[in-house]
Amino acid sequence: MPIIKSAIKKLRQAEKRAARNRTVKSGFKKVLDVFKKTPTNKNLSAVFSGLDKLAKTKVIHKNKASRLKSRLSKKVVTKNK
């Protein structure tokens, strides 16, 4: 446990941010599961929106969001063929 006042505050902030990120990620995973069950263009746009929000708020890295978008869009293309 930290003793210095600023370190105590930093720990408190880190715990709050981690909890917020956990809830946001779990909500996105539900949207992703819906897409994986029925990969349609409508579901794809919802997933893209979620990924963009996660990258914007720095919950995930922007390159990871881009990579996932690329992989998921390939799945829609292959399903439609």
Q: Which residues contact 11 (CB under 8 A, 6 or more apart)?
A: 2
Q: What is the CATH number of the domain that holds 63?
A: 1.20.58.110
DSSP state for residue 52 in the 8-state scheme = H
The overall pTM is greater than 0.95: no
- Structural domain range at position 38: 5-80
Tens of pLDDT, residue by residue over 11-55, are: 999 999 999 999 999 999 999 999 999 988 999 999 999 999 999
The Cα–Cα gap between 50 and 26 comes to 11
Domain count, the chain: 1
Q: What φ, ψ does residue 28 adopt, rounded to 5°?
A: -70, -35
The three-class DSSP label of residue 50 is helix
